[in-house]
Structure 1
Amino acid sequence: MTLEAITTRLRAAEIRTGRAPGSVTLIAVSKVQPSERIDAVLAQGQRVFGENRVQEAQGRWPAFQARFEGISLHLIGPLQTNKARAAVSMFDAIHSVDRLKLAETIARLADDEGRCPDLFIQVNTGAEPQKAGVLPDELERLIASVRALSLPLKGLMCIPPADQDAAVHFRLLAALAARNGLEGLSMGMSDDFETAVELGATHVRVGSAIFGERVPPKE
């Protein structure tokens, strides 16, 4: 698969659902991808990228940003509070806010930095114990706390269980967002992004279908 093919499929999904072409943001997930693959995708015009780890992003994106204008970086992996300052400084959006302590830390750092990324709350729609994210029953309390901190909360994010129908979780996330007056829906990956678009996604996170299979870092 290529960036062009994914973009074509994304635009077709938008049209099928009566949405404006280009209204869904394609996040090219570049985590654990070799620099030459990222360089090639940048050369094709892609400017929105997703990373899982702050340290990995710090190690390579400044060089790309010096060569290409308009890059927007989204943190889609779990964020530890001790990495929050770097994340607030470097990323344009953080999709993995999942606890009050992290929100409070971001608010304090945003005051220090004079900027704050757009924020999405990650919801553990499958209640998987090994996965990050606030449980659906606890979501409204966290939303209220984030709003009380005057943070730029844009929407919700989820990663459905691998062994379940993703559409069920996309519908749940969309319902939770609507109930709480949130428009942003970060959902859908390489195997199911078209379904996510049909169910209201505003951001889709596509990695291997654009870059090829990930290359694990050498020990």
Structure 2
Amino acid sequence: MTTITLAESIAAIRLRIAAAARAAGRDPAAVTLVAVSKVQPEERVEAALAAGQRVFGENRVQEAQARWAERRAAHPDLQLRLIGPLQTNKAKDAVRLFDVIETVDRPKLARSLAEAMAAAGRRLDCLIQVNTGEEPQKAGVAPSEVEAFHRLCAEECGLSIRGLMCIPPVDEPPALHFALLADLAARLGLPVLSMGMSDDFETAVRYGATHVRVGTALFGLRVSPERPTDRPAEA
């Protein structure tokens, strides 16, 4: 059986993104591949870097610190995006490490991030996470509350809100949620849409995604210390 290298996997995903963009009448260059590197072993991360991938998504601040703190000097063009839930007590660490926070979802977090950015002298781009399915177990702002929350983030907290992000319910057609997110962003004049993961990123591109978060389809199954492979990464 032929083994596909990570470089070949990245190239294949990029080709699929480009094809989906062209089919939608979009410029493929307008879509950024975010490699979801959470829980991936070091050799896979190094292989992705060697293949030229420079935009990565991480779910947890502590894990990301261990993986990326020393790599920053070697890769000044690296962009790290926090795509997982953020606790307010981790806001300072997140602001020091990441370039983009995609999961702003409540006033307390918005204020904590604003304070952390002021203290660090950094102004990061942020996205509002929208709970498009209004699932009680999932983080994110309800669609009906996005406009008011955007106003709080931008006007009261002074955050640089560049766009919206979502994770659709697993048991519903993602296109409905991508269309909703795109409509919300258009109403607010926000240019960035982070939506689409391994199973649905081509659909997301057709609905206007500017960033797609791909983990399993790029890296393969995630690895745990106990077993060679574990359940697929949730991206």
Asked if TM exceeds 0.5, the reply is yes
Who is 1:3 aligned against?
10
Who is 1:210 aligned against?
218
- Specify every segment of 5 or more residues in structure 1 that has no aligned partner in the other structure, as ranges: none
Conserved? CA contact 1:33–1:214, under 8 Å:
yes
Aligned AA for 1:4? A
Quote the offset at 1:217 in angstroms: 5.4
1:113 aligns with 2:129: no
Aligned AA for 2:222? R
Among 30, 49, 54, which residue is 1:47 paired with?
Answer: 54
Conserved? CA contact 2:69–2:97, under 8 Å:
no
- Specify every segment of 5 or more residues in structure 2 that has no aligned partner in the other structure, as ranges: 228-235
The alignment of Structure 1 onto Structure 2 pairs a total of residues equal to 219
Among 28, 45, 60, which residue is 1:21 paired with?
Answer: 28
1:157 aligns with 2:156: no
1:137 aligns with 2:164: no
Conserved? CA contact 2:95–2:117, under 8 Å:
yes
Quote the offset at 1:21 in angstroms: 2.6
Aligned-pair identity (%): 59
Aligned AA for 1:163? D
Larger deviation: 13-22 or 47-56? 13-22
> TM-score by structure 2 length?
0.90
Conserved? CA contact 1:95–1:119, under 8 Å:
yes
Quote the offset at 1:155 in angstroms: 0.4
| Separation of aligned partners in 2, 1:155 and 1:52 | 18
Quote the offset at 1:186 in angstroms: 0.5
Structure with bigger RCO (C-alpha 8 Å, 6+ apart): 1
Aligned AA for 2:112? T
| Separation of aligned partners in 2, 1:69 and 1:108 | 25
SS of equivalent to 2:64: helix
1:191 aligns with 2:193: no
Who is 2:230 aligned against?
none
Quote the offset at 1:60 in angstroms: 1.3
Among 175, 183, 188, which residue is 1:175 paired with?
Answer: 183
> TM-score by structure 1 length?
0.96
Quote the offset at 1:209 in angstroms: 0.7
